[in-house]
Chains A and B, each alone.
Chain A
Amino acid sequence: MLTLYGTSFTSRLLLGTAQYPSPESLKLAVEASGAEIVTVSLRRESARARTGQGFWGLIEELGCRVLPNTAGCRTAKEAIATANMARELFGTNWIKLEVIANDDTLQPDLFGLVEAAAALSAEGFQVLPYTTEDLSAAERLVAAGCGVLMPWAAPIGSARGLINREALKTLRAYFPDIPLVIDAGIGTPSHAAEAMEMGYDAVLLNTAIAKAGDPVKMAAAFAKVVEAGRLAFEAGLIEPRDMASPSTPVAGTPFFKIDHAS
């Protein structure tokens, strides 16, 4: 079971709700993924279009736990105000905290992130920070009150997979008791499997499913590998080795002779 801030979930796949070809496709993809947590955002509401009102109806139909984000915020102040608006709107203390440093990489501004995480934790939020694999930032976030960390695998939407796997392994080893969710940069099911095999507690993705040729089928594929990767981690992976090691018993091999030449 995945436990985040005291709530347990069967699925270890968290799914974003953006970029699907249609609302119907989003709904079917969420079902196929088995996700119990979906991310949402807040955007300016036009009095004429009232886009958000219809979207809210769709989200309620999904029946998932909602994790609002602060996507696009550039400062701690913006993120704090957005988190408060999200808490009122969605009725949850959970916030996927994003403070963005750079438009090209969409990498977290770790300084603003720690500042906002501390302020929001003090206001009773349960913060799920979108961070990097940086260990010192992770320590500051935990000290600020974060009970979950969500390091990126690669820049958002880049589909490059775990580009800094050694640091991600270190992070996992350093925080054995903090739920760690890989957030952003997952492009293929094998990327997700790798994260799960490394012992990450869950993966959060959006683009890899929403922009797939068939989002519903891809959601089903991710559901399978996330579960498989977790099972593999729990089973205990063997260590890689440089040289071959026969799997078939050597004893009793027909025609076997000791090679005296060597």
Chain B
Amino acid sequence: MKILLNGEAFATDAKTLDELCAGLGFAEAKIATAVNGSFVAASSRGATSLADADEIEIVAPRQGG
């Protein structure tokens, strides 16, 4: 399955958003997620299935003004 992860093409076998995050080493990380432009809460990642061409955003805290 090919998705768009943080704006870049990414091949994955992950079935859910939770699996994707864990596979990237983010299981315990301070991150937040969105799928196809909408926020997905951490508690909903396990129930969020991934489909081909999904656009996933994984963000973390950063400097800001």
> Measuring CB to CB, which residues of chain A are less than 8 angstroms from any residue of chain B?
16-20, 26, 39-47, 50-53, 55-56, 59, 68-69, 71, 77-78, 80-81, 84-86, 88-90, 156, 184, 206-207
Contacts and interface: CB of A to CB of B under 8 A. Distances in A.
Contacts, number: 108
Contact of A56 (B38, B41, B60, B64): B60
15 contacts: A39-B65, A40-B64, A41-B61, A41-B62, A42-B60, A47-B25, A51-B62, A52-B31, A52-B60, A53-B29, A55-B61, A56-B30, A59-B61, A71-B64, A89-B30
Contacts of B25: 47, 50
Category for how many chain B residues contact A? 20 to 34
Interface in B37-65: 37-39, 41-42, 57-65
A81 B63 CA distance: 19
Given A44-B6, A47-B26, A207 B65 contact: yes
A39 B39 CA distance: 21
Q: Which of B24, B29, B32, B37 has the most CB of A within 10 A?
A: B32
